[in-house]
Structure formats: structure tokens, C-alpha cells
Structure 1
Amino acid sequence: MQDIKIKSVGFDEPAVQLLVAENLQDLSERYGGTGDDTPISAADFTPPNGAFLVAALGDELIASAGWRRHGDDAELKRMFTTKAARGRGVARRMLAAIEESAAAAGCKRVILETGDQQPEAVALYESAGYHRIPDFGYYAGHDSVLSYAKAL
């Protein structure tokens, strides 16, 4: 089996947008609607404002995650692993790569919003040292939102 490689990419690249669309479809199946209506632009993930990473197995993109500045924090967005790639530790590697990227850019912590219909995400974040914080951002006040942070 080929090695999984994590690399920085442009958020607006066509292959990346196909993976993001798969992510949004997964969220839509869990929550209904369009999945995630948070306003996002490619500029959010362009250094020094942030970064967008993908995991590739050969030519196939199997996971994504990005961070964008939120004050002194890095806000994690679009964390996703394809169904076929789940259970291989890819998400944990992506999370570590995001933390490393954000720390190198001077961010003090990573913050994120996830939801109560994503138990595997909640388990990953909690096992990686994230703790609950007051809700923030686009989904603050929504019943199903769960917000987390981890100091870098």
C-alpha cells in the first residue's frame, strides 16, 4: 500500500472542492440542509491567514482539514476523512498537522465547532486533548453545536 502524504493545497483547487463537496454531503446526511453554511473563502486558508491541508493516497484525496485565524486562535474548518479511509488514523494525523501548522504561524490554540451527530469527531478531539469551551462563531447558540479548544 502506498504511503499517505499530507500536503498544503489551495482551497479553491478543483480536486479539493470535490472533497469539500463530499464533506458537505456527509454533514447534510447527518444534520439535513446543506450541511454547513459557515461563510468560508479561499482567502481564509491562504497564509498568513490560515492553511488548508489534504491527505493523499497516491492520486486520491482521502482527507482534508484547514485552519483560519480567529484572533490569536486557529479555527479548524472542513475536517473530513472519506468513508473508505476511515479507521486508519488519517484524521488523527490531519489534526496533528493542523496543530503543527497553526503553532508555526504563531497561533496560541486551536478552536473548533463540531456537532452532536458526529460522535467519531467528538471522540477524536477529546482523545487528542481538546476540551469544551463556550460556543462561538456561526453556529453559536444552535442546539447541536459542540465547541472545543486545545492550547498549542
Structure 2
Amino acid sequence: MLQLKRVTSQNKDFQQLVKDLDAFLAVTDGDEHDFYNQFNKIEGLQYVIVAYLNEVAVGCGALRPFDKETMEVKRMFTLVDYRGKGIASQILTELESWSLELDYKKCVLETGIRQAEAIALYEKNGYKLIPCYGPYLNVENSKCFGKEW
């Protein structure tokens, strides 16, 4: 049974999943990894979800305030052996619920054009392509998405 736990970036399982995510992205992002990595620091994240399947940490996601009505989705990841089971969608739904509880009205996120699985996940969950924002402006390998409620 899948369990979703609300934690912070202090959680050791989250920290390990982020290491796995960064190793995965170092391969898929290639030469651009250092550029993207500077925007993915986890220190101080207060809104983190870790997914546990049979008490094994298998996926994660986080939120950080972007502006007064928007949260940014960060560090979404599911271990490769556990993909295709709907875990990432459940994490994303829980992040959205948490955002709503905190009185935010929408979520935004950035992903790379090479992240086909991530793009499919966000589109399947109602995220729409939006203009790139902040540090991703004019970055041709970035895709940004948003969802309002």
C-alpha cells in the first residue's frame, strides 16, 4: 500500500531520493545539468512529500512559494523500478491539495524538453504549457507548465 508522508527537506529519505534524481538528471540533461542544478537546492523546503511503498521510499515531490498565490513544484521523482504505477500522479495530487490548504491558487513548474515522462505526467494531470518564467526565460531546453484551481 502506498503511503504519502508530508515532511520537510530534512527527511533522510527525501535527501536520498534527490541524490538519485540528480544522478538521473546528470545523464538526461547532459552539459546543461549544472545550469539547471543551481535552481534545485533543497535546503529549507518546508513542503515535501515522500511516497512509501511497503515502507520503502520510492518517490518524492516538493513545493516552494513562488509568489503570494503560486507554488512552484520541485524535485518530482519516482525510482525507475516503480514508474508506471501512478505514484507520481498521487504525489502531484497531494502537493496540489497541500497548496490549496495553504491558500495558494495555482502551481507552476519547469521541466526539460528531454523529460518526456515528466511532460506526459504533467499533461495527464491537467497542467498546461505556459511561458517560461524566472531563470528559465529564453532557455530553449525548458518547458514550463501551470495549473490553476
Match of 1:83 in 2: 80
Aligned positions of 1:21-100 closer than 5 A? 21-32=19-30, 33-34=33-34, 36-38=37-39, 40-43=41-44, 45-46=45-46, 51-71=47-67, 72-100=69-97
Match of 1:20 in 2: 18
1:59 offset after TM fit, Å?
A: 2.7
Per-residue Cα deviation, 1:10-30 (whole angstroms, up to 9, x for no partner): 212222211101011111110
1:120 offset after TM fit, Å?
A: 1.0
TM-score normalised over the length of structure 1: 0.89
Paired with 1:27 and 1:141, the residues of 2 have a C-alpha distance of 20
Check the 8 A contact 1:10/1:42 in 2, yes or no.
no
CA RMSD after TM alignment: 1.4
Query: Unpaired segments of 5 or more residues in structure 2?
Result: none
Per-residue Cα deviation, 1:92-111 (whole angstroms, up to 9, x for no partner): 11110011000110111010
Which residue identity is paired with 1:67? L
TM-score normalised over the length of structure 2: 0.91
Structure number with the higher helix fraction is 2
Q: 2:9 aligns with which of 3, 8, 11?
A: 11
Which residue identity is paired with 1:18? Q
Greater alpha carbon shift after TM alignment, 125-134 vs 102-111: 125-134
Per-residue Cα deviation, 1:71-96 (whole angstroms, up to 9, x for no partner): 11010000000001101000111110
Query: Unpaired segments of 5 or more residues in structure 1?
Result: none
1:8 offset after TM fit, Å?
A: 0.8
Count of residues in Structure 1 that have an aligned counterpart in Structure 2? 145
1:39 offset after TM fit, Å?
A: 5.0
Check the 8 A contact 1:5/1:57 in 2, yes or no.
yes
1:61 offset after TM fit, Å?
A: 0.7
